[in-house]
Amino acid sequence: MSTDLTLTTPALLFPAISLLLLAYTNRFLTLANLIRDLHARYRQDPQPHIRGQLDNLIYRIGLIRNMQVCGVASFACCVLCMGALFAGQIILGQWIFGAGLVLLLISLGLSLRELWVSIDALKLQVHDLDKIEPHP
């Protein structure tokens, strides 16, 4: 089995990482707008559940920031890997590419965690309705 690493191998990750970063940015912008809206509502009527939602959103924003950092670092590793391969430094290129894959995996893991937290927040929101109208 050959473990040849060519310039095209890290280049294949460019579109995937770019799409991930775009998705992360969209999630970030959506949450940022929601935080602004809830902040304004909280300043007018400081309800504990609104504060809880804001705390949850701030935690999720932190996760998204870390997702983006790992994604950008993974992207940078792909570029550095290509540079090392172009310079004939095959072993160095392999190590850098491996680091990029690990960073990408961490980014995806953080994305999964953020999704889980998002689902938990939605469940709490829906359970809040049970106080108003009991579920049959």
Q: How far is CA 136 from the centre of its chain?
A: 37
List pLDDT tens digits, range 37-89. Answer: 999 999 999 888 888 889 999 999 999 999 999 999 999 999 999 999 999 99
Q: Which residue has the tokens 């998002």?
A: 118
Q: What pLDDT sits at residue 1?
A: 43
Burial code (b: 16+ CB inside 10 Å, e: under 16) for 75-94 equals bebbebbbebbeeeeeeebb
List pLDDT tens digits, range 104-134. Answer: 999 999 999 999 999 988 887 777 666 666 6
Is 34 in contact with 57 (CB distance < 8 Å)? yes
Q: Give the C-alpha separation, 105 to 100, whole Å.
A: 9
pLDDT band at 136 (very low <50, low <70, confident <90, very high): low
